[in-house]
Structure 1
Amino acid sequence: MTLPDIQTRERIRQKADELFMQLGTRNVSMDDIARDLGMSKKTIYQSYNDKDELVNAVLDFILSKMKRECEECKTDSHDAIHELILTMELLAEQFRNMNPIILHDLEKHHTAAFMKFVHYKQDYLFTVVKENMMRGIREELFRADLNVDVLSKFRLESMMMPFNTQLFPTSKYTLIQVIEVIMGHYMFGLATAKGHALILQYKAERIKSKPI
């Protein structure tokens, strides 16, 4: 593939990413992407065989980026609670303009892409959550009596709840609002007295650092 071909493919992927995040995959056609890019649909099909391939390309990019940023949260954090705070801030940035219907669209209309996400959640994210919990126990910020395996699975499933638009309709809740409430509940449920104090300290620092 030549450099212009690669650049065209990337432009299409970026525009599809933008539109899918805003509207979901079902509500975005190849015609919509072509029109927004000012190119012919034929050009898009020269880069991607069909919409499924384009959805997969977008998901591959997102999962790779999320994995890299998760590792950065772990590396840059002072402790297990700080890692969760950084992760919450990362999610707030990633999901700021995201329509929660996208996971439903993947499950219903793009089975291969949805299964790729499921494997990412069950393999990579499970390991991240479990290692964070064990780190917190070592640092005496999380309770030593935690069932790490059960609570890691609980955390993974609670991550999916904000995307349930029947449970949390977008007319009443924002994705970020629900994520922050669930994450706060999760952290306090794990924490020792020392951990509780640190959560409150980080929370106060976040509030103080936010622009008025």
Structure 2
Amino acid sequence: MMETLVTQIVSVVLYFIMADIETGLRIRQKAHELFMQYGLRSVSMDDIANSLGISKKTIYQYFADKDELVDAVVDAEFTKNEGICEFDRQHSKNAVHEIFMAMDMVVEMFSTMNPSLIFDMQKYYPRAFKKFHKYKNDYLFSVIRDNVLRGISEELYRPEMNIDIISRFRVESIMIPFNPEFHTKMKYNMAEIEEEFIIHFLFGMASPKGYKTIIKYQQERINKTKDGKK
């Protein structure tokens, strides 16, 4: 009898804990969706609440202010991207294939991203931007550097490259499409721009063997895109 009562109490407590976690997750996911579409500055807590059909007061039960919500969205995005990078590293056939796998994620992400997102973060949410800056300069740099080393060992990239310089170049080139002076003068969307940058980066590193490998994966990607449009 006592064990049954304890079990029931535990079940009720777990139910409310899970419901609480789910609500916080829904808020964060909706904020992410709206931030990506409209930028950080343009989206208010009222917008998020209205999109979810909840009160703004409910949001403040989970996040003290918009700064904290932006931090949570940024942290979750980093965690997700790190998981994807690790998956690509483990399941790719070679360094070039790893880049093409990553390109799928990048193109998908950039296709729904408002160009003002990073500018908004830098100007209005310095705490989140500081996290982003560290993530870019530490984690992304190490992922790219590891890929360059892998490509050299597989004889797909030229061995005479300065690994640190070329890795840092790639990290910084990620930011170019977010520059208002750049993207406002282009007729292409951010996904198209970033995809072109990635291909340029690959060909710049390629050995003769790597060049053939890039062409192979490029053609496979083109064929896949054509099949998807049928």
So what's the TM-score if we normalise by structure 1?
A: 0.96
C-alpha distance in 2 between matches for 1:49 and 1:166: 35
C-alpha distance in 1 between matches for 2:53 and 2:221: 42
Q: Percent identity?
A: 47
Cα distance, 1:92 vs structure 2: 1.2
Match of 2:96 in 1: 81
C-alpha distance in 2 between matches for 1:5 and 1:87: 34
Match of 1:168 in 2: 183
Match of 1:129 in 2: 144
For structure 1, list consecutive stretches of 5 or more residues without a partner in the other structure.
none
Equivalent runs, 1:1-212 vs 2, <5 Å: 2-169=17-184, 172-210=187-225, 211-212=228-229
DSSP-derived class of the 1:114 partner: helix
Q: Summarize the Cα distance change of 1:82–1:15 in structure 2 as closer, same or farther, 3 Å threshold.
A: same
C-alpha distance in 2 between matches for 1:63 and 1:126: 14
Cα deviations across residues 192-212 of structure 1 (Å, max 9, x unaligned)?
Answer: 111111111111111112223
C-alpha distance in 2 between matches for 1:170 and 1:61: 32
Cα distance, 1:8 vs structure 2: 1.3
C-alpha distance in 2 between matches for 1:164 and 1:187: 22
Moved >6 Å (runs of 4+): none
C-alpha distance in 2 between matches for 1:43 and 1:170: 41
Larger Rg: 2
DSSP-derived class of the 2:182 partner: coil
Cα distance, 1:3 vs structure 2: 2.5
* Structure number having the greater helix percentage: 2
Q: Summarize the Cα distance change of 1:176–1:170 in structure 2 as closer, same or farther, 3 Å threshold.
A: farther
How many equivalent residue pairs? Answer: 212
DSSP-derived class of the 2:181 partner: coil
C-alpha distance in 2 between matches for 1:15 and 1:32: 10
- Greater CA drift, 128-137 or 167-176: 167-176
So what's the TM-score if we normalise by structure 2?
A: 0.89
Match of 2:3 in 1: none
Cα distance, 1:134 vs structure 2: 0.6
Cα distance, 1:157 vs structure 2: 0.3
Q: Name the aligned partner's letter for residue 154 of structure 1.
A: F
